[in-house]
């Protein structure tokens, strides 16, 4: 092959490779990732765990309607609604970060205020901040309820309230740690790889899961009461 043709061929291959998202750079990935499948199976077991908490909550509420009416009156519903809106918004930010990861865009390509140019890092940092605000809001709500005498040993309602929301808060905290892990890898690695993209995607699965679970808890505890 002539040298000029060979150089042209190499340039075309390099150009084609550069346009392939990072999530497709290494081999064929048409089959589901085993990490993704394993995460989905694990989240299914977590769903069963929260289903048991919901069942316990409804069962105890059914035998203590007067207690529930008395204790739910102490809930700050507007504050919890705003806190829930923050967590729901964080799920959208997380998904936009996944879209950036699938494009192979790890960092922003424009100004900080130009959201359309944000990459995985910026969207995941925003998600982390929103999640941390949610946890802080939950801590403030706990402090207010304790001030009004709603504690774990105070009644069956207090036990179920802190059990359900507390376990969810632990899961949210675990998600925040996972975001730090993903962000740390992007800063330490020399280039963005398929493995990093998969990690970001499975973390998003987890975050969407805790978001959906909280929506169920919110309607159960604050709306239906």
Calculate the average pLDDT of the chain: 86
- For domain 3-224, give its CATH number from 1.10.3720.10, 3.40.50.300, 1.20.120.80, 1.10.10.10: 1.20.120.80
Picking from 44, 63, 27, 24, the residue whose alpha carbon sits closest to that of residue 212 is: 44
Picking from 90, 178, 166, 94, the residue whose alpha carbon sits closest to that of residue 134 is: 90
Q: How far apart are CA 162 and CA 146, in angstroms?
A: 11
Q: Global pTM?
A: 0.82
SS (H, E, C) 177-202: HHHHHHHHHHHHCCCCCHHHHHHHHH
Distance from the Cα of residue 32 to its chain's centroid: 21
Q: How far apart are CA 87 and CA 81, in angstroms?
A: 10
Could you say which residues of the chain have pLDDT below 50?
Answer: 1, 3-20, 22-29
Task: Tell me the per-residue pLDDT of 90-134, one tens digit each, with 9 for 90 and over.
Answer: 999 999 999 999 988 998 888 888 888 999 999 999 999 999 999
Q: Where are the domains of the chain?
A: 3-224
Q: How far apart are CA 200 and CA 127, in angstroms?
A: 12
């Amino acid at each position: 092959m002539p040298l000029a043709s060979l150089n042209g061929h190499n340039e075309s291959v390099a150009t084609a490779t550069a346009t392939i998202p990072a999530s497709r750079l290494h081999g064929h990935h048409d089959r589901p990732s085993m990490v993704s499948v394993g995460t989905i199976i694990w989240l299914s077991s977590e769903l069963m765990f929260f289903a048991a908490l919901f069942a316990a909550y409804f069962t105890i509420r059914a035998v203590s309607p007067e207690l529930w009416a008395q204790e739910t009156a102490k809930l700050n519903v507007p504050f919890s609604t705003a806190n829930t809106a923050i967590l729901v918004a964080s799920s959208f930010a997380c998904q936009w970060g996944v879209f950036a990861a699938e494009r192979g865009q790890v960092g922003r390509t424009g100004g900080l205020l130009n959201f359309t140019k944000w990459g995985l890092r910026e969207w995941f940092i925003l998600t982390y901040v929103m999640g941390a605000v949610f946890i802080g809001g939950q801590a403030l709500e706990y402090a207010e309820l304790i001030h009004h005498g709603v504690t774990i040993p105070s009644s069956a309602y207090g036990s179920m309230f802190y059990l359900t929301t507390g376990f969810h808060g632990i899961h949210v905290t675990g998600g925040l740690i996972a975001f730090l892990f993903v962000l740390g890898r992007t800063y330490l690695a020399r280039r963005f790889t398929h493995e990093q993209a998969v990690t970001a995607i499975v973390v998003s699965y987890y975050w969407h899961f805790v978001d959906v679970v909280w929506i169920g808890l919110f309607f159960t505890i604050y709306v239906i009461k």
